[in-house]
Amino acid sequence: MKKQLLIAAVAATMTSVAFADISISGSANVKMNAAELSTGGTTEGSSMNMDIDFAAKNGGTAVYAHLDIDNAGTVSNGQVVVDKLWMTTSIGSVNVKAGDFSSCVGSVEGIQACTTNDNKIGLSTNVGDFKVGYTKSMNDSSAADSITLSGTVAGLSVKIKDSEDTYTNFSVKGDLAVGTGTGFYAEMMNRDAADSDATLLAAHTVVNGVTLKAADYSADATSVTNALNTGDIRPLGTSLIGDYHTAAATSMATIKDATLFGANMDVAGNNVNIVVGEYDNATVNGLDFADIVVSRKLASGATLDVSYGTFDDTASTDTTNYGAQLSVKFYSY
């Protein structure tokens, strides 16, 4: 009898564990980079990073945490930060998201980078074929309040986001019935501040197994008035703005206009991504850049990226960048 009770107790415990849905996933990388200046001199650097995502679910409620570990082995720069922590649930037909979570302005991280804001709440629900969302800071600051409308129109994904007294952003992306693998992305940022609007157009298609890409970025002005233009023209797959593997400007805010062309292809087990283009800053037009990244999945489960890029800093000076990254992703359920 006692043995039967013990078995029943263990079975009940195992059942409760089975209902618990807990997962861990993440990624880690080591980056190495070097830059040669046309005026002379070389700079070198390296960094280590690990991101760990925790998810715990019970029915229709979930809690998520993102742990960011940067250069943890160094005394001066090492950081271990829980930079995102939020809960999702629903009340009737209204979805609730509360805590410290990341949100994007456009449909992709194009004109403006996705950012994490502390202590906010988001409410969303479906109205017909559209999703309507409202996000508010729980610190009683209306400056971070935003309303988002997203959905599908004629097969295209459409998103409109309005932040009170700050901006209205329109973005649309989708596939086109032209050729093979043809698609596009368009974004328009209309800010309330004068001379701070920006637009981004990008398109891609596949020809003989090679993905061809093009993008055009234009801002009203550089410097302070468009300092929030923190994106990286991500639709091309290799960013104009970046760290280890790019011909990089200091910030998107320094660029007034940019035209980019790219190609992505598989060659002998490697993925090759090439981007070339021209950009204007506040004072000089027609500055050039080029970037190539070669990626290969290794038998060990890691991925190796090797890159080379050149970037005109001014009309008479340029920087040549070299980089390598060894990365791995992991999952545990």
Residue 249 CB contacts under 8 Å (≥ 6 apart), including other chains: 240, 241, 255, 279, 311
pLDDT digits (tens, 9 = 90+) for 103-154: 889 888 788 878 888 889 999 999 999 999 999 988 766 666 899 999 999 9
Instruction: Tell me what pLDDT residue 250 has.
Output: 57
Q: Is pLDDT at 26 greater than 50 in this prediction? A: yes
Instruction: Tell me what pLDDT residue 241 has.
Output: 42
Predicted structure pTM score: 0.83
Instruction: Centre a 10 Å sphere on the Cβ of residue 219 and count the other Cβ atoms it contains.
Output: 23
Average pLDDT of the residues in 88-103: 95
d(CA 231, CA 109): 6
Please report which confidence band the pLDDT of residue 251 belongs to, taking 50, 70 and 90 as the band edges: low
Higher per-residue confidence, 78 vs 39: 39
Higher per-residue confidence, 166 vs 151: 151
Instruction: Tell me what pLDDT residue 141 has.
Output: 62
Q: Are strands 94-103 and 115-127 parallel, antiparallel or unpaired?
A: antiparallel
Higher per-residue confidence, 106 vs 19: 106
Instruction: Tell me what pLDDT residue 227 has.
Output: 65
Q: Is pLDDT at 11 greater than 70 in this prediction? A: no
Residue 183 near residue 204, CB atoms below 8 Å: yes
Q: Is pLDDT at 309 greater than 90 in this prediction? A: no
Residue 232 CB contacts under 8 Å (≥ 6 apart), including other chains: 109, 113, 239, 240, 241, 242, 252
Report residue 170: phi and psi, to 5°.
-120, 130
Calculate ∠ Cα 143-146-148, nearest 5°. 165
Q: Please tell me the number of Cα atoms within 13 Å of 84 on its side-chain side.
A: 20
C-alpha separations of 286 from 149, 199, 253, 307 in Å: 38, 19, 17, 23
Average pLDDT of the residues in 33-50: 83
C-alpha separations of 108 from 63, 101, 190, 216, 275 in Å: 24, 16, 16, 15, 19
Average pLDDT of the residues in 86-99: 96
Go through 227-251 and write b for each residue having 16 or more CB atoms within 10 A of its CB, e for each that does not: ebbbbbbbbbbbbbbbebbbbbbee
Instruction: Tell me what pLDDT residue 142 has.
Output: 61
Measured over all CA atoms, what is the biggest interatomic distance in the chain, rounded to whole angstroms? 89
Residue 220 near residue 227, CB atoms below 8 Å: no
Residue 240 near residue 246, CB atoms below 8 Å: yes
Domains in the chain with CATH codes = 25-332 (2.40.160.10)
Instruction: Centre a 10 Å sphere on the Cβ of residue 207 and count the other Cβ atoms it contains.
Output: 12
Please report which confidence band the pLDDT of residue 316 belongs to, taking 50, 70 and 90 as the band edges: very high
Catalogue the long-range contacts made by 101-104 (C-beta closer than 8 Å, 24 or more residues apart): 101/64, 103/135
Task: Give the start-end residues of each E strand in 71-166.
Answer: 79-91, 94-103, 115-127, 130-137, 146-153, 156-163
Residue 108 near residue 185, CB atoms below 8 Å: yes
Instruction: Tell me what pLDDT residue 7 has.
Output: 44
d(CA 68, CA 80): 6
Q: What pairs with residue 30 in β-bridges?
A: 48, 326
Average pLDDT of the chain to the nearest whole number:
83
pLDDT digits (tens, 9 = 90+) for 53-92: 999 999 999 999 999 888 755 545 667 788 899 999 999 9
d(CA 161, CA 170): 7
d(CA 107, CA 100): 20
Instruction: Tell me what pLDDT residue 331 has.
Output: 83
